[in-house]
Structure 1
Amino acid sequence: MTAETAPPAWMREQITAAEYDSWSEEQCAGIEIVDGMVVVSPSASKRHNRLARILANALDEAAGPEWNADTDFDVRLQDVPLTNRRPDVVVYRADTLDISPTRPEHVLLVVEVVFPGPETTDRIVKVDRYAKAGIAFYWRVEQAATCVPLIYTYILDPATRSYRTGDMFTGIIKTTAPFPTEIDLGRL
């Protein structure tokens, strides 16, 4: 590998929380940090982004004044080695709006919309990391061949720090936990 083709140092070496925190928003866009290593996320499709936005808007409306729902920001799962994930949707305490980084204790629910490429990460790796971090609810949205999304919900068992399977929904989410919610994802 020549100097022209070698990846930059930040892609080959672990970075610290302090180093990452010094980066600009542009430098942090499109990446996650896993065990101190930069992981570049592939660009999402318009369908993926629309699903995430519909979910975030509906969850924000249903959550009430104590919770906010947003897309596209980091959740700091641990400082050493640094692990930042960027869930597709995050429901977090409203009183932490101006606190950065967002930490697991600020988060009630994370949602991942699965798309080609990082399926194993969304289905297996992230589930384990979010549970170990203590995030109470995890939803995974699969984009079925029929274009009607399948939604799998998971609820944290705090004693084992692992998720137990909740309900599965096709197209319409109608649940009471973590708060009453009805969302029609079939209207894409």
Structure 2
Amino acid sequence: MTAEMVAPEWTHTQISPEQYDSWSEGQCAGIEIVDGMVVVSPSASKRHNRLARILANALDAAAGADWNADTDFDVRLQDVPLTNRRPDVTVYRADTIDLTPTRPEHVLLAVEVVAPGSETTDRVVKVDQYAKAGIPFHWRIEQAAAGVPIIYTYVLDPAGNAYRDGEVFTGTMKATAPFSVTVDLGAL
């Protein structure tokens, strides 16, 4: 005896911005929309979530009054076809805290913590999408199986809508861009 699986409608039709905006926060949790299609994200590990939270807290404290840093919310990269990404950490303009959706022009920095199952997306696809959307800074965190994480930083070259390599940090991160922040990566 076999059970026939019926895929939900959203797995094979493009989602419009209006449809997505009508969904509850619970329906949007754990997914991203890429070219109008729902992409389900695997659950993050406790280490992944801790990395994101500690970094978001450090960035929020260092950002000053004009910027906020937070975790796990949509950034609408484009409307047609709909593409929403959920960076692990986002630094955004404080005066846009109540605006939905968050747009690339509200974002200063998007951070991705590379996780098993999302390596290519985090290392290649999202980097390209964030650059094309005009987000000025991008950081990628690689988690070592044992040891201290490595943070790769990127700065947007607006002439080519691509990132150029910035600094690489392990141990203690002392970044100067997009603003001065120090983070003990060993505590992550």
Which ranges of structure 1 fall in alignment gaps of 5 or more residues? none
Please give the root-mean-square deviation of Cα atoms over the aligned residues, in Å: 1.2
TM-score of the aligned structures, taking structure 2 as reference length: 0.97
2:155 matches 1:182: no
Runs (4 or more) in structure 1 with deviation over 6 Å come to none
**Secondary structure of residue in 2 paired with 1:166:** strand
- Indicate the residue corresponding to 2:14 in structure 1: 14
- Indicate the residue corresponding to 1:170 in structure 2: 170
Kept after mapping to 2: 8 A contact 1:62/1:180: yes
Cα separation, 2, equivalents of 1:171 and 1:50: 16
**Secondary structure of residue in 1 paired with 2:53:** helix
Cα separation, 2, equivalents of 1:171 and 1:49: 19
Deviations 1:70-112 (A, max 9, x none): 0010000000000000000000000000000000000000000
Cα separation, 2, equivalents of 1:17 and 1:123: 26
- Indicate the residue corresponding to 1:5 in structure 2: 5
Cα separation, 2, equivalents of 1:121 and 1:6: 27
- Indicate the residue corresponding to 2:157 in structure 1: 157
Quote the offset at 1:4 in angstroms: 4.3
- Indicate the residue corresponding to 1:118 in structure 2: 118
> Between the two proteins, what is the percent identity of the paired residues?
76
Cα separation, 2, equivalents of 1:104 and 1:4: 42
- Indicate the residue corresponding to 2:32 in structure 1: 32
Cα separation, 2, equivalents of 1:98 and 1:3: 45
**Secondary structure of residue in 2 paired with 1:61:** helix
- Indicate the residue corresponding to 2:43 in structure 1: 43
